[in-house]
Amino acid sequence: MSNRLGTAVWSMAVGVALLVAGCALRPGETPPDTGRWVAAWGSAQLDQRAPAAGEASGGKPVPAVWQQPLREATVRQVVRVTAAGRAVRVRLSNAFGREPLEVGAASVAMVQPATDGAAAPVLQAGSLRALTFGGRRDLILAPGAEAWSDPVEMAVPRLADLAVQTYLRAEPAIATVHPGSRISSWAVAGNQADVARWPEAAARDGWWHLAAVDVRVAAPQPVLVAIGDSITDGYGVAPGSYQRWTDMLARRLVAAARDAAVVNTGIGGNRLLRDGLGPHVLSRFDRDVLDRTGATHAVVMIGVNDLGISHRGRATTPESRAALLGELKAGFDAMARRARERGVCLMVGTVMPYGGSGYYQPKPENEADRQALNDWIRQAGFDAVLDFDALARDPARPTHLRAELDADGLHPSMAGYRAMADAFPLAFLDRRCGQGGAASAAAMPATFDNPVISGFASDPSVCRAGEDFYLVTSTFEYLPGLPVYHSRDLVHWRLVGNALSRESQISFVGRKSSKAIFAPTIRCEAGRFYIVTTDVEGIGNFFITASDPAGEWSDPVRLPEPVFGMDPSFFFDDDGTVYYTRHGGGRDGGVYQARVDLKTGRLLEEPRLVWKGMGGIWPEGPHLYKRNGWYYLMIAEGGTSYDHRITMARSRSPWGPFEPHPDNPVLTHRNLPDHPFQALGHADLVTTPQGQWWATLLAIRPQAADGGRHHHIGRETLLAPVRWRADGWPEFGQNRMLAQPQPTRGLPGWAPWPQPPVRETFAPDRKLPPHWAFLRTFAKERWSLTARPGQLRLIGGRTGLDAIGTPAFMGRRQERLNQRFATQLDFNPTDARDAAGLALRMNESHHALLRLTGGPARRVECLQQLNGQPRVLASAAVPPGPMQLQVLAEPSQYTLAWRRANHGRDWQPLCRIPTHQLSTETSTGFTGVYLGLFAFSATAAPAVADFAWVDFEPLGP
C-alpha cells in the first residue's frame, strides 16, 4: 500500500480505532455535528456474497463488470432524498465485509430526468461534487467500519434524485449491500466517478456499500424511520417507480406541505427474533432506526415471517407456539423501551393476513396466533398502533387480504401500498415521546435478566409503601429468618434485615431440614407492615408486625386452628375487613378463608373452603386481591417442582363462588422442558406508583447432569410483567411464559444499589451482616466477634453438619451459579478428629467440607456426605500456620482448593464435586446450597477456629 499513503484508514486492530485521515466511525456512531443534520435517505444493509459473472441473480444474468469482488470499477447509485437541505453528506459502509473496502474516489450529483430507462442515469450539468473524507478523496474501510464524507455544499430539494458514484479499487468478497433497492445501480470499468454520462454501463439491482445520506436543514423537522420485512421493503414494486408505501407517504407529506423526512430500513424476509435474510430487527433496531441522524419517530411492521417460518413445512405444538408469541411480545417491548430511552415515538403495525400465501399456508392455529399477537399489539400501550390488519383484511375472509389490495396472498399490491400510506396518521409526527415519567430514560436499559434475587429465595411475597418495594422469602430451618429485601425499581434488591432476628421470637430446635418457616406474605397497611407465615411442626401460622420493614419486628402472634393449614396471606379490603386466606387439606386440599381481627389476633370464624383450584396437587400459596369490584384469588398448583403452575379465579364476593381464569394456568413452563426457568409458582402481585402491575414468583434453573435435570442453588425470585385485558383478566409474562431477558417497559425506574465489596472483614464494634445465617437457633454460644478482635471466631462443639442440631456453622446463600467463596483460617486442632473450614450445605445427608483436621500432623481434606454416607475424596498434608481455603462454583461442579496464607502461591485444587450431588433432585427438600464456615470438636474441649476474612465474589449468572 506504499502507493496509497495519505488515504483515510480505519483500523479495528485490538479493538482500537486508528484514524489516519478522514471521518471513519464505529458502526452506528453519528458524525460530529456541524449544523442541523437530518437523515434524508437510508438503507438497511446485510452481508451478501455477490454472484460471479454470468451467475443468475434474481433470475437475471449478472454482467461481467459486476463480477465480485469488484476491482477497478465505478458504481453509480440513485437515491431519493425526502428532506430539502443546503448541504449533503454520505455514509459509506464495510459493516459486513471481512476484508478492507478500498475506495479510490467518490462523488455526488443531481440526476436529470431519465429519457431512456435502459441507460444509466445522466447527471445534471454542473451539479457533480467530489466527496472527500478528511479532505482526501480516497478511503480504506477496515472490516466492520463505516465513514461519513465531509459535508458538500449543494442545494437539494425534497424528493430530488441524487446519484452517488464510488470508484472501488477493491471490494471484500462479502459485500455490504441492500439487495431490495427497487431501483437499478450501474457499474462501469475504471475510475469514472467524475464522468456524467456512462453509455456502456451495466445495471443491477441493489445498493452497494451505501448506508445513508443526510442533509443540513434550516429548521428542526421530524424524521420517521420505517423498519420491517419485505412489505416495508416494497416487494413487487417495479424498479424506479417509487411505489413502496414509504415512498407514497413521502409524496403525501409533500402534498400536505409538512416538513418531515421518511427513511426506509426494511429488509425482505426479515424477522423480529431470528437472523435470516439479514440481521433480525431486534438486533439492528439501534443501528437502523435509533441511530439515524435526527430520528424522532419510528414505525415497525414485523412478525409475519416469524410466524410463517415457525410452521412452514413443520408441525407445531401449543407449547412451541405459546413460546414464540411470548418471545415476540418481549421483542416488541424491548424495542419500545429502547425507543423511549432515546426519545423516539414508536408506532407498531399489526400483522396483515397471510392466509392466501402459498408459501406459508397457515393453518387455523397459526391464524389464531396472528390474531393473538395483533390483539396484544393493540392493547400493549405503544405510542401508537397502525392497524394494517384491519385495513387490509377481507371482511368476508378475514384470514386473507382484500382482493384489490392483494398481490400474492402475502404482499400488498400497489393499491395496497398506497392504502398503507394513506392510513398513516400524519398527526403522529406532531407527537414528542420519551420525556418525563418516573423512569430514568438515560439509565434504564431495554431489558433485565431474571432472576432478580438469585440463589435460594423461594416463595417471594412483595408489597409497596409509597415508592419503595419490600419483599420477603421463606427460610425453613435457617435463622435469622424471613429476610426482608428493599427495592426502588423491582429489579435491584438489597437485604435490609430479617424479620425473625432474636431468640424471643422463635426456635427451630429438633426441626429437620426444609421444615419450619414456609411461604410468607408481606403486606403494608396504614403505615404498618405485616408478615404472616407458617412454622411447620412448630407454632403453626402466625403474624408479626413492624413500623420499619428493616426491623425490629414484633414477637409472633399465633393464629391457632384445630387443623393444619399453611401459606397464609392477609388481604385488607376497602371497608376495613381483613381476610385470612391459606392452604388446607394437604395434597388434594384447597384454599380456605376467614376474617381476622389483627388487634386481638383472633379468627372471627372457622376458615371455610372457597376454591379447590384447577385440579393440581397442593393448591397452595393463595393471595386475594381486588380490582374494579372483582376479587381475584391466585394460587400455585402441581407441587413445587416441574409441574408447578400459577392459576387464578375471580368472584364478586371474597367468599366466592370463584370463576376460573379462562386461560389457566396463567403462568407455567411445565410444557417447556428446555426453558432455562422451571417450576414457576408462588406468585404475588404489586402495583407501581404509575399503576403498572408486576408479579414476583419463584422458579428454578436446572442443569443437565447425571441423565436428568438438577437444581442445586434453590428456588429463586423472578419478576414478570402483568397486563390487564379488556375482559378484566390479567395476562402474565409473554403469553403465559417468561422470555429471557424481560423488557423493562413498565418498571417504575432503574435504581441499582452499590455493589458490596468482595472481601468482608470482621470487627468487634460491628454487627454481623444480615446475610449470615445459622441452623435452627441463633447459635450465640458458637461464634464471637470479640474473642479475637478483627476476626470471626467459631467455637466448635460435638454437633456436626450431619446432625439435626445447631453446629458451629455460619453460612450464606450461594447466590450465583458461578461464584467464588474463600476465607483465611487460623486453626490448630488438638484432637486428630477436630476440624474447621468451609462447608457446602444442602442438608444433613448431603453436604461437602473443605476442612483442616488431623491434630499435630495437619492435613486439608475434602469430605463429602452423600446420601448420609461420609467419604474422604482427597487429602493433603499442610504445614503449620494460617491457611486459605476456596470454593469455586460453576454450574456443573465445585472446585475445592487451598493454599498457605501470605505465601503468594497459586491455589492448589484438592477435589471436584458435581453440583448435581447437592441438588434437590438428589437430596430432596426445598432449600438451596449454603456456602459457609464451620468448626467441629470431637471431644468435650471446644475447637476454636478464627476466620480473618471472607471473599464472596460473583463470577457470572
- What are the phi and psi torsion angles at 824 (to 5°)? -115, 125
Q: Is residue 467 within 8 Å of residue 488, measured between CB atoms?
A: yes
Contacts of 933 (CB under 8 A, 6+ apart): 792, 794, 809, 810, 811, 823, 836, 837, 838, 839, 945, 947, 950
Q: Is 459 a catalytic residue?
A: yes
Q: Round to whole Å and give the CA distance between 308 and 562.
A: 58
Cell of 838: 468451609
| DSSP output for 438-500 | SS-TTT--SEE-S-SB-SS--S-EEEEETTEEEEE---BTEESEEEEEEESSSS--EEEEEEE
| 188 CB burial (10 A radius; 0-12, 13-18, 19+) | buried
Q: Round to whole Å and give the CA distance between 249 and 426.
A: 9
Cell of 798: 460435638
Lookup result for grid cell 400524519: 426
Lookup result for grid cell 433497492: 181
Q: Round to whole Å and give the CA distance between 95 and 80.
A: 23
Cell of 761: 472483614
Q: Round to whole Å and give the CA distance between 323 and 706.
A: 27
Q: Round to whole Å and give the CA distance between 927 and 516.
A: 12
| Range list of H helices, 490-590 | none
Q: Identify any residues that bridge with 37 across adjacent strands, giving them in sequence order.
A: 216
Phi-psi region of 760 (alpha: psi -120 to 50; beta: other; left: phi over 0): beta
Q: Is residue 634 within 8 Å of residue 654, measured between CB atoms?
A: no
Q: Is 367 a catalytic residue?
A: no
Contacts of 134 (CB under 8 A, 6+ apart): 8, 19, 21, 22, 23, 150
Q: Round to whole Å and give the CA distance between 495 and 492.
A: 10
Helix, strand and coil content of the chain, in percent to the nearest 5, comes to: 10, 40, 50
Cα–Cα separations (whole angstroms), residue 35 to 24, 41, 164, 822: 19, 18, 22, 57
Q: Is residue 105 within 8 Å of residue 130, measured between CB atoms?
A: yes
Secondary structure class of 334 (helix, strand, coil): helix
Question: Which residue in the list 247, 306, 459, 684 is annotated as catalytic?
Answer: 459
Q: Round to whole Å and give the CA distance between 23 and 16.
A: 15
Cell of 38: 437530518
Cα–Cα separations (whole angstroms), residue 683 to 398, 740, 889, 927: 38, 18, 29, 18
Rg (alpha carbons) of the chain, rounded to whole number = 34
Cell of 899: 493454599
Q: Identify any residues that bridge with 481 across adjacent strands, giving them in sequence order.
A: 500
Q: Which helix (H) or strand (E) holds 311?
A: helix 304-311
Q: Other C-beta atoms within 10 Å of 648: how many?
A: 27
User: What would the 3-class secondary structure string for 375-389 be?
Assistant: HHHHHCCCCEEECHH
Q: Which helix (H) or strand (E) holds 341?
A: helix 318-341
Cell of 397: 375472509
Question: Which residue in the list 161, 229, 333, 620 is annotated as catalytic?
Answer: 620
Q: Round to whole Å and give the CA distance between 405 and 391.
A: 10
| Catalytically annotated residues | 459, 620
